[in-house]
Amino acid sequence: MEKKKPTFLRRLIKGKRGQSMVSYAVITAAILGGLTVMSMVILPRMLDAYNNFTASLYFGINMPIP
């Protein structure tokens, strides 16, 4: 009797040689993608808040009445 060759699906299930590399790549991509999106959302707001703070600070410093 001749041995059956493993099908592609069985090789995927049994073959775990690259599993850690794939999971590392997926996790790294998720973290970098999340940080990129969050920086696009949060960074402009932080810069605007910093600008408002310095403007109000200079306004307080330059007031004629102490």
Tell me: the pLDDT tens digits for 17-37?
677 788 899 999 999 998 898
Q: How far apart are CA 66 and CA 61, in angstroms?
A: 9
The CA distance from 41 to 59, in Å, is 28
**Dist. CA 47–CA 50, nearest whole Å:** 5
Write down the pLDDT at residue 16.
Answer: 64
Q: How far apart are CA 52 and CA 46, in angstroms?
A: 10
* DSSP three-state, residue 4: coil
What predicted TM-score, i.e. pTM, was given to this entire model? Answer: 0.47
Distance between CA atoms of residues 37 and 44, nearest Å:
12
